[in-house]
Amino acid sequence: MIKERPAIDWFEIISENFMDSQGWPAEALSEIARHYRAVPHGVSLSIGSSEPLNQAYLKRLKQLADRIDAPWVSDHLCWTNCNGFNSHDLLPMPYTEASLQHVADRVKHVQDFLGRRLLLENPSSYLSFKSSTMPEWAFLAELAEQADCGVLLDVNNVYVCQRNHGWDPHAYLAALPAGRIGQMHLAGHTDYGSHCIDTHIGPVPGSVWALYGDALARFGSVSTLIEWDEAIPDFPILQAEATRAKAWMQGQERPVSVATPTNPSSEFKVSNPVDFMVGYEVDV
């Protein structure tokens, strides 16, 4: 894939997979970054935790972002750490004024340290706290304004959560400040009838494409990423999903044919996050 340079505008990498990588993974990342934009997407920042921010983690994240000249970094509105233990899960948090101020202060510190904007993703969730005093969308909107950060809008997560919690997805989108949406995610999920699980498996469902159309109408053509983390298919199938997202941006509802550019532009709008990771996993 690296030699062929497919017509993908940019790539997302899982931050933790490349912070300390050497050998082939580091070489492959350097080669990708020479020809495409690459953006780190983390799962262990634990921005919502009550524990102090991990400065060693932030230092390694900054080194990675600097190395690939990342335009921004992203992570999730959640917590993962407790008493020094990393759960490796994106755990929900209570949406209160106290937690809002706590997270806003931490986001400011992270952005100052990294020297670039942090985008926080709305998480998928399966339970909520009785102590919450505001809906998630109001919390996320106010956080973006107070901390002067961006939002990574995961459209699939909005759909999953509206199924699990009975939220109005259109109210969710309407509450977010348009100027703060720096990126979007699209993915598949597993529907169990009574609830949905954010599994990142299979193509993007029609229900998520429809909600993506609503998001485009409100926020415009924002850089969009296809997530596919389970039962990963051959690269052309992944590329077709990314191409379909670009077709939606262009006001079409069907995929458009894409020719491989001889000199890919630094302008990036649509990506596939696992494209890079597929090669790494197969070679191991």
pLDDT at 254 over 80: no
**pLDDT in the model for residue 88:** 79
Q: Residue 175 has which token pair?
A: 């509450």
pLDDT at 280 over 60: no
Higher pLDDT, 91 or 254: 91
Q: What is the pTM (predicted TM-score) of this model?
A: 0.88
Assign 252 a pLDDT band (cuts: 50, 70, 90).
confident
C-beta separation of 116 from 69 below 8 A: no
Q: In 10 A of CB 249, how many CB atoms? A: 17
| Parallel/antiparallel/unpaired status of strands 196-197 and 190-191 | antiparallel
Question: Among the listed ranges 63-67, 131-135, 201-205, 260-264, which one has the minimum average pLDDT value?
Answer: 260-264
Distance CA 29, CA 33 (A): 6
Q: Residue 142 has which token pair?
A: 């106010």
